[in-house]
A and B are shown apart, each in its own frame.
Chain A
């Protein structure tokens, strides 16, 4: 997988690197990079959570509610 341009490098302190290396022994993670990617994605997704924009105007919402009532959902 890593042979094409799908990867890049970031720097982390060596102490942290070693700490993670120790942590992931005998787990499903096969490398520090894999672990860091996993954890970052988890946290980034959490941070993105607060940045949601619902695309509806009040008018859209009202029209949808009307339809939902007509179909018996509300």
Chain B
């Protein structure tokens, strides 16, 4: 069987049919809160069970428990509070016990029952979650700009956040059925925001040797200028899988989820999320979910020692490079040779070459993958 959902039960709070119609009508009589794109994504992930066992934005008790102990009040591991912030003016218009409508892009996205409305200590939050107060950290900067109050309570979806990428997306209930149909018992999850190079392929295949299936799960729908476009990432992976992965050994599907750059805590969060998708194993990279020099390269590996009850096995696989003496892709653990024989894979170099329409060296990227990326007139977000 695929992995047990986190906390024991897969959440699915999506209104359908008559109920949905009725709720949408009722939204006109509720207090309306317009969400930012990021808040909308969190809402959708909550309703779709990506953050099971959470059924909604966290209430204060859970919020504090997560900051202090990295666990919910029921002891289930949880490292990043999923919060909905409002400013003072809006907070004044909302009371505990209210049902409010969450809107995104002029369409009702969800109904929320407000179970808690509380002020939060932003300093405590950033120190606990990001391990720093530095405004240079993008997560800290983000928190600074957020409202003074948080709303807690369950959400029920009545709509979705449209990104034009729907054909690439699967939700946890869907992948769980898929994995069981494929007869996979052990599944390794891979988190990415990038087109695949040889290093990624090496890491994925190292894991695949020991499990039934590989779940490649790019984060999509929030790219910044200069990033590869979501469609490019997908098409590049499709080509890679078609040419270099055994049939029925890999599933590729996207996930609309925010990046928080919380390093170690976010690595655990990413693992929990993939557990909900049905994964039994999760690949944790070097400096996973890190940014700048805020975390040491293997800090994200150490934090897993605190969770004997996580219910998903982290796989720590070192970065790969090509070694001319070994004659293949290897890593520090298995290659004894000097630096002069090693070809390090550089994301920056690959990007530069691709943007000039050139194939990177075959030690860095499969030619089929490179060609597919180059075939896009505009592979990068503008």
Chain A residues within 8 Å of B, Cβ to Cβ: 1, 4, 6, 28, 38-39, 41-42, 44-45, 48-49, 51-56, 60-61, 64-65, 67-68, 71, 73-74
Contacts and interface: CB of A to CB of B under 8 A. Distances in A.
A42 B75 CA distance: 12
28 contacts: A1-B69, A6-B65, A6-B68, A28-B305, A41-B308, A45-B309, A45-B310, A48-B8, A51-B8, A52-B1, A52-B4, A52-B5, A54-B10, A54-B176, A55-B9, A55-B10, A55-B12, A55-B173, A64-B177, A67-B174, A68-B178, A68-B181, A71-B167, A73-B170, A73-B178, A73-B253, A74-B178, A74-B182
Contacts of A56: 173, 177
A59 B184 CA distance: 22
B138 interface: no
Interface in B212-267: 251, 253
B311 interface: yes
A28 B307 CA distance: 14
Contact of A49 (B4, B173, B182, B305): B4
Q: How large is the interface on B (under 10, 10 to 19, 20 to 34, 35 or more residues)?
A: 20 to 34
B17 to A, nearest CB: 12
Nearest to B251: A73
Contacts of B69: 1, 6
A49 B9 CA distance: 11
A45 B178 CA distance: 25
Nearest to B305: A28
Contacts of B174: 64, 67-68
Nearest to A4: B68
Closest 6 CB pairs of A and B: A45-B309, A42-B308, A41-B309, A52-B4, A64-B177, A55-B10
B4 A39 contact: no
A7 to B, nearest CB: 10
A53 B9 contact: yes
A52 B176 CA distance: 13
A1 B177 contact: no
A48 B12 CA distance: 20
B215 to A, nearest CB: 11
A60 to B, nearest CB: 7
A4 B61 CA distance: 13
Given A1-B68, A41-B308, A42-B309, 12 more contacts: A6-B69, A41-B309, A45-B308, A48-B8, A52-B1, A52-B5, A52-B8, A64-B177, A64-B178, A71-B167, A73-B253, A74-B178
Nearest to A51: B8
Interface string B68-79: 110000010000
A2 to B, nearest CB: 11
Contacts of B307: 41
Contacts of B182: 74
A39 B308 contact: yes
Contacts of B308: 38-39, 41-42, 45
